[in-house]
Amino acid sequence: MQIAVASFEYEGNSLSLKLDGKADFARKTLCYGSEVLTESRGRALAIAGGIDQIERAGYSVLPIAAAKCVSGGHVEDGFFHEMHDRIVHDVKTAMPLDGVYLALHGAMICQTVEDPEGALLESIRATVGPDIPIAASLDLHAHVTEKMVANATVLVGYETYPHEDAFETGARAASLLVGTLKGDIRPTMRMRKINAIFPVLGGRTDGDAPMAAVRKRARDFEKTDGVLSVSYFPVQPWLDYATVGVTAVAITDAARDATGTAAHDIATTIVTDMWARRHAFELPAFSPAAAVREALAQDVDTSLIIDTPDSIGGGASGDAPAVLAALLDLAPDVTSIVCLVDPASSARAHEAGVGATCRFRIGAGLDARFHNPVSLEAEVDSVHKGDFVYTGGPAGGVAGSLGPSAVLRRGGMRIIVASYPVYEHMDEHLRACGIDYRQFRIAVFKNLMNYNKLLGPRTRSVAVHGPGSTPLRLQDVVWKNRRRPFWPADDTDAPVFLDDQHDEDGAPEDRHRN
């Protein structure tokens, strides 16, 4: 028996100016055929987990393609159609197949294709027919659509944030696929979605965070006989579409839940539980200047300033110099480290050479909507290739690169100017430039969650709010397509459901396919 396998992973952001195509994916992961197996072995990727589970079950893997890119704005239409057509073509050529497994993010957007993952699943369903099971693993921040649910047999989301279970999620999705092929289960899938978007900063799934309780309830449901999977999706909030909302997907065995009523009720419970905890997602944050003052007041060895409006992992350009400007103004002699995406400044530093003192205009070169560049004179302290390997997270074991980079010295400050934005897992990107953040009083990070892994008794954090393409205050964004009322712009007594679709008898629409 043969199962086709592919990945196409990208997290979009309607507020971002970034447009990513084939070259951008190639810098991260882009391979075809047998190379998919080679590139995934020993790595903590969802597709690796899926392949591992399929092979352990004794099935043959047909690798088609693997494409994975850092979060951004939109995928170029041309590259999306190229990947879509290649995957669908190879599936069609390989028929008859017994199943299909896809590793997707779930929040991809393109220039003109609003629901690219739904379109891909729809095309594959049309190719393999109604009886071949299709499973997909998704990121916890996936924007799950009706088209995705209608054309997949199984959709399973990450359990953790910070993301630590990409491999395990791929394995869980593939396990349900294998169980379906063996006839052990007949999945029935239901989705519930409310008109709400949550600040990502408060979305941890451990400790006493709001999603930790939701996570526990989902796992408790899965202990119930006949409940196969329960996934929660707080959603990527910076997508400007009317159908974007906080979502839950429950999968039950049709042998015990023939009508899907139990799956519907479980998904409703999970999404209602998330709604009840909505206010707990809003965490304290400061203006850049106030954040610097707050960091300096902390009795610690290192304060991490989290530049949330410019989060590269959320799709921002990574070139906002607001915190840099505040540090120059308020703490120029305090030891601090800041990393910004600025290929022009990096090129200037490489050309000038180590030891040279130059005037730089840093930041706002890729996205000038919110800030002006910071002009300063600095010494070129060191230059680097910027290459590293992720030590964990959803890209564990995968090579990353800042591209040609340089460390600039100005007073107590060190400023890394990089050529490419990279997903900040922990501090791999800093170490690629010879920087140990623990040697600095203040270290600036441009991620919304992974910095938590660096906290300890002598390391604390302070978050920044302000304008950017990953803003914390979602109610302040001028949305073009969102439907009112939605939280947090409106705080209704009860959640507004976006997916109230019923058949003539008033029962939830049946999503069972196998």
Indicate the residue among 164, 184, 204 that finishes a domain. 184
**Mean pLDDT (whole number) for 300-312:** 98
Tell me the CA distances in angstroms from 214 to 203, 230, 234, 505, one per residue in order.
11, 10, 11, 31
pTM of the model: 0.95
**Mean pLDDT (whole number) for 257-266:** 98
**Mean pLDDT (whole number) for 14-21:** 98
CATH assignment at residue 78: 3.40.50.360
Tell me the CA distances in angstroms from 272 to 160, 190, 266, 278, one per residue in order.
19, 15, 10, 10
pLDDT at 199: 97
- Domain-located, residue 511: no
Tell me if 24 sits within 8 A of 68, measured CB to CB.
Answer: no
pLDDT in tens, 432-480: 999 999 999 999 999 999 999 999 999 999 999 999 999 999 999 999 9
**Mean pLDDT (whole number) for 354-379:** 98
pLDDT in tens, 219-239: 999 999 999 999 999 999 999
SS (H, E, C) 134-200: EEEEECCCCCCCHHHHHHCCEEEECCCCCCCCHHHHHHHHHHHHHHHHHCCCCEEEEEEEECECCCH
**Mean pLDDT (whole number) for 110-136:** 97
Alpha helices in 203-298 (DSSP H): 210-221, 261-276, 288-297
- Domain-located, residue 348: yes
Closest listed residue to residue 305, CA positions, set 475, 467, 454:
454
Do residues 462 and 352 share a domain?
A: yes
Do residues 380 and 266 share a domain?
A: no
Amino acid at 149: V
Buried-exposed string 257-291: b where 16+ CB fall within 10 A, e elsewhere: beebebbbbbbbbbbebbbebbeebeeebbebbeb
Full DSSP string of 54-69: HHHTTPEEEEEEEEE-
Do residues 204 and 296 share a domain?
A: no
pLDDT confidence of 114, banded at 50, 70, 90?
Answer: confident
Tell me if 403 sits within 8 A of 26, measured CB to CB.
Answer: no
pLDDT at 513: 34
pLDDT at 344: 98
State the Cα–Cα distance between residues 70 and 169, nearest whole angstrom. Answer: 19
Tell me if 174 sits within 8 A of 187, measured CB to CB.
Answer: no
- Say which residue, 502 or 418, is predicted with more confidence: 418
State the Cα–Cα distance between residues 487 and 449, nearest whole angstrom. Answer: 22
Tell me if 440 sits within 8 A of 302, measured CB to CB.
Answer: yes
Do residues 394 and 247 share a domain?
A: no
Do residues 146 and 211 share a domain?
A: no
**What average pLDDT does the chain have?**
96
pLDDT at 512: 33
pLDDT at 70: 82
Q: Is 482 helix (H, G, I), strand (E, B) or coil?
A: coil
Do residues 170 and 319 share a domain?
A: no
Do residues 457 and 360 share a domain?
A: yes
For residue 344, the surrounding DSSP H or E stretch is helix 343-352
- Domain-located, residue 506: no
State the Cα–Cα distance between residues 508 and 501, nearest whole angstrom. Answer: 7
pLDDT in tens, 473-490: 999 999 999 999 999 999
Burial grade of 59 (CB within 10 A; 0-12, 13-18, 19 or more): buried
Do residues 204 and 171 share a domain?
A: no
Domain span at residue 147? 1-184
**What residues have CB less than 8 Å from 260, skipping those under 6 apart?**
188, 189, 190, 252, 254, 508, 510, 511, 512
Residue 502 scores a pLDDT above 50: no
Residue 92 scores a pLDDT above 50: yes
- Say which residue, 510 or 64, is predicted with more confidence: 64
Question: Percentage of residues in the chain with pLDDT exceeding 90?
Answer: 96
- Domain-located, residue 509: no
Tell me if 142 sits within 8 A of 159, measured CB to CB.
Answer: no
How many C-beta neighbours within 10 Å does residue 17 have? 16
**Mean pLDDT (whole number) for 243-268:** 98
340 CA to centre of own chain: 20
Tell me if 202 sits within 8 A of 280, measured CB to CB.
Answer: yes
Burial grade of 329 (CB within 10 A; 0-12, 13-18, 19 or more): exposed
pLDDT in tens, 319-348: 999 999 999 999 999 999 999 999 999 999
pLDDT at 499: 85
- Structurally, the chain folds into a number of domains equal to 3
- Domain-located, residue 44: yes
- Domain-located, residue 410: yes
Tokens at residue 300, please? Answer: 């610690």
Do residues 318 and 388 share a domain?
A: yes
pLDDT at 443: 98
Tell me if 360 sits within 8 A of 467, measured CB to CB.
Answer: no
State the Cα–Cα distance between residues 162 and 83, nearest whole angstrom. Answer: 29
Do residues 217 and 243 share a domain?
A: yes
- Domain-located, residue 513: no
Do residues 422 and 465 share a domain?
A: yes
Greatest alpha-carbon pair distance for the chain in Å reads 77
387 DSSP β-pair partners = 401
Residue 170 scores a pLDDT above 70: yes
Residue 52 scores a pLDDT above 70: yes
Tokens at residue 446, please? Answer: 């441009």
Do residues 137 and 180 share a domain?
A: yes
Residue 7 scores a pLDDT above 70: yes
State the Cα–Cα distance between residues 242 and 35, nearest whole angstrom. Answer: 38
- Domain-located, residue 514: no
pLDDT in tens, 181-219: 999 999 999 999 999 999 999 999 999 999 999 999 999
How many C-beta neighbours within 10 Å does residue 385 have? 13
State the Cα–Cα distance between residues 85 and 405, nearest whole angstrom. Answer: 36
248 DSSP β-pair partners = 192, 232
